[in-house]
Structure 1
Amino acid sequence: MSTLHPYPRLLADIGGTNARFALETAPGIIEDIDVLPCNDYPTLADAMRAYLQRADTHSVSHAAIGIANPVTGDFVQMTNHHWAFSIEATRQELGFATLLVLNDFTALALALPHLPASELVQVGGGELRHGAKALIGAGTGLGVSGLLPHGGSWVAIAGEGGHVSFAPVNDEEAAILHYAQGRLGQHVSCERFLSGPGLELIHDALAVADGEAAGQLSAAQISERGLSGRDARCEKVLAHFCAMLGTAAGNLALTLGAVGGVYIGGGIVPRFGDMFARSAFRERFEAKGRFRDYLAAVPVYVIHSAYPALTGVQAALADHLGDHHA
């Protein structure tokens, strides 16, 4: 197949903040990883060209990208960034024979069977069983996917579960939701809280409830102050975030029947370290009444891989090109 589908191949994982690029130089060999800030480039094609120039390669025929957005046709308009493009026009502009575009969490789901145990940190639950795997992860937005066993292989779900309606569990969360509805309207998605901007929104709700102004701190400042233990309100923000994520992850596990584990991706939770394991996440994950015992058996893993979605993008491209050995 390598003579029909030559290397290197361009791989990319495009988030709302950063674009991660790499070259697959041989089957399964991913090298030359580079991260470019999305805001530095007017278009996706500009960012791809810049990476290829920096990697000093001009011989790419096949490319695949995972992107933080629904991919429902040729035209892609990013939800959390201004890039908008035609897949076919971009393929032609860059001279590729193949440009495969899939949702970034679909790509990350495809990577789950390939992640080494050393890059996964288990947070509660029992032994891993064969069955559906759930995936949820907070970054610039909230990604949701799953992996379903199909014969001897897997099928990834391309969904937008981050945009389901947020449901409060207690009076404090109801008050936070009420504040958010005043700013955003009646529908407030889980992503509005379970994301970088979500940390800021939760902080704003708590500050305003205390008679202070909104917009005081960035997500990075909230995380740093909360983890250091020197800011009680920021600690409370992180506590709310982890608890809310527990409820959302438990909902997803029930929906998919995810006895094969729940995986936490995205850039936020891995930075929380031991605090996440000590938080109310696991308690809220299991707090589903008659199905508490069902969920208590389901293991949860925090993904600590540096660039896991690139592995999924590589697998998707190999499958698309018929490289079934890759």
Structure 2
Amino acid sequence: MTLEVTHGLRLLADIGGTNARFALQSDPAGGFDDVEVLTGASYLTLGDAIRAYLDGARARGMAVDSVRHAALAIANPVEGDEIRMTNHHWAFSIEALRQELGLTTLLMVNDFAALAMALPHLPPSGRQRIGGGIELPNRTIGLIGPGTGLGVSGVVPAGGRWIALSGEGGHVSFAPVNRDEVAILEALWSEYGHVSAERLLSGMGLELIHWARTSRRLKAADITTAALDGSCLECQGSVRVFCAILGSVAGNVALTLGATGGMYIGGGIVPRLGVLFEQSAFRARFEDKGRLGDYLARIPTYLITEQYPALRGVSAMLSDQIFCLHQ
């Protein structure tokens, strides 16, 4: 089994709604080689994107012809062989893609399940504490992450191993906690009918929050830039609302999972908010759960700062998959 796991390079990927991050790995316990980020919209199919990455890696001197095992984390439910991405145009069969690429193993997992698998192994340098609390060892860890969509997951300890949870918690119904948020919800009801947490806690969600509050349509990047440089007080207000709602939803996830091992924030949006997030109402709203406030105050919250954490998680899942196949 050891030879099967370690022989040759392994292909790893973290595929979001906007970007696809690829890497090669020669040692399952080591780091990553030849990391490259490709824009998904530039490729007609996922297979095209993978081949483009491998061709580039070959040109850079990597022995990609030795790749036989691959694991891809994808921003989508994985419930069988057929995948049709929610926030992207790619649709494919996992088995057909495995055969197309000539792989022995092609593991496809939910991206936030992969990110969750990385959490027990994140070094202190890979996370930033937000607020108080003390994590309990060998307890459930929660995860939430706004990006192109809203990912929700966690990991549960089980007999010396960790088991990642795959779900679509980002699509639970949004619940406002004050009159301002009720007004936002009413504005979005007229547009969408059902309003999920993801409808607000995503790149598009920040834009919708700003539109509902100001009747102005701006891109998320422009809202964030204007909020950070202080040139737009309305943009700062929209970012503050975004962070506060994220705190409430993160608290809901922590309560649902019993995440006394800590609650983590991933995704591409929050790290860009810098001091606005650190000074926001996120932590206060995380704890604001009435009689359960003291329970949540004991749970620490962390912002993931490691650059490619999902690759760490999907690597561990690939090793488990290969090990099981050789038992």
* TM-score, L = length of structure 1: 0.95
Could you tell me which residue of structure 2 aligns to residue 211 of structure 1?
Answer: none
Instruction: Choose which of 101, 115, 118 in structure 1 pairs with 2:108.
Output: 101
Gaps of 5+ in 1: 209-213
Within 5 Å, which residues of 2 pair with 1:87-236?
87-130=94-137, 131-185=139-193, 187-208=194-215, 214-215=216-217, 217-236=218-237
Using the TM superposition, give the Cα deviation of residue 3 of structure 1 relative to its aligned residue in structure 2, in angstroms: 2.5
Using the TM superposition, give the Cα deviation of residue 2 of structure 1 relative to its aligned residue in structure 2, in angstroms: 4.2
Distance across 2 between alignment mates of 1:231 and 1:294: 37
Which amino acid is 2:228 matched to? L
Distance across 1 between alignment mates of 2:199 and 2:159: 37
Gaps of 5+ in 2: 59-63
% same residue: 59
Using the TM superposition, give the Cα deviation of residue 195 of structure 1 relative to its aligned residue in structure 2, in angstroms: 0.4
Residues 28 and 316 of structure 2 are in contact (CA less than 8 Å); yes or no, is this contact kept in structure 1?
no
SS of structure 2 residue aligned to 1:247: helix
Could you tell me which residue of structure 1 aligns to residue 48 of structure 2?
Answer: 46
Distance across 1 between alignment mates of 2:276 and 2:115: 24
Which amino acid is 2:153 matched to? S
What does the per-residue CA deviation read over 1:112-136, in whole Å, with 9 as the maximum and x for residues that have no partner? 0111101211011222212110000
Using the TM superposition, give the Cα deviation of residue 276 of structure 1 relative to its aligned residue in structure 2, in angstroms: 1.2
Which amino acid is 1:178 matched to? E
Distance across 1 between alignment mates of 2:190 and 2:324: 52
Residues 152 and 167 of structure 2 are in contact (CA less than 8 Å); yes or no, is this contact kept in structure 1?
yes
Distance across 2 between alignment mates of 1:266 and 1:54: 26
Could you tell me which residue of structure 1 aligns to residue 262 of structure 2?
Answer: 261
What does the per-residue CA deviation read over 1:38-74, in whole Å, with 9 as the maximum and x for residues that have no partner? 0010000000000000110222111000000000010
* TM-score, L = length of structure 2: 0.95
Distance across 2 between alignment mates of 1:27 and 1:129: 28
SS of structure 2 residue aligned to 1:3: helix
Using the TM superposition, give the Cα deviation of residue 234 of structure 1 relative to its aligned residue in structure 2, in angstroms: 0.6
Could you tell me which residue of structure 2 aligns to residue 238 of structure 1?
Answer: 239
Using the TM superposition, give the Cα deviation of residue 28 of structure 1 relative to its aligned residue in structure 2, in angstroms: 2.4
Distance across 2 between alignment mates of 1:309 and 1:7: 21
Which amino acid is 2:178 matched to? N
Aligned residues: 317
Distance across 1 between alignment mates of 2:131 and 2:34: 35
Flag the 1:102–1:300 CA change in 2: closer, same or farther, 3 A. Answer: same
SS of structure 1 residue aligned to 2:142: strand
Could you tell me which residue of structure 2 aligns to residue 287 of structure 1?
Answer: 288
Q: Is 1:21 paired with 2:22?
A: yes
Distance across 2 between alignment mates of 1:272 and 1:141: 17
Residues 140 and 259 of structure 2 are in contact (CA less than 8 Å); yes or no, is this contact kept in structure 1?
yes
Residues 240 and 276 of structure 2 are in contact (CA less than 8 Å); yes or no, is this contact kept in structure 1?
no
Distance across 2 between alignment mates of 1:323 and 1:20: 26
What does the per-residue CA deviation read over 1:297-326, in whole Å, with 9 as the maximum and x for residues that have no partner? 1100000011100000100000100189xx
Within 5 Å, which residues of 2 pair with 1:52-91?
52-56=54-58, 57-91=64-98
Distance across 2 between alignment mates of 1:26 and 1:149: 25
Distance across 1 between alignment mates of 2:89 and 2:262: 34
Which amino acid is 1:183 matched to? E
Using the TM superposition, give the Cα deviation of residue 27 of structure 1 relative to its aligned residue in structure 2, in angstroms: 2.3
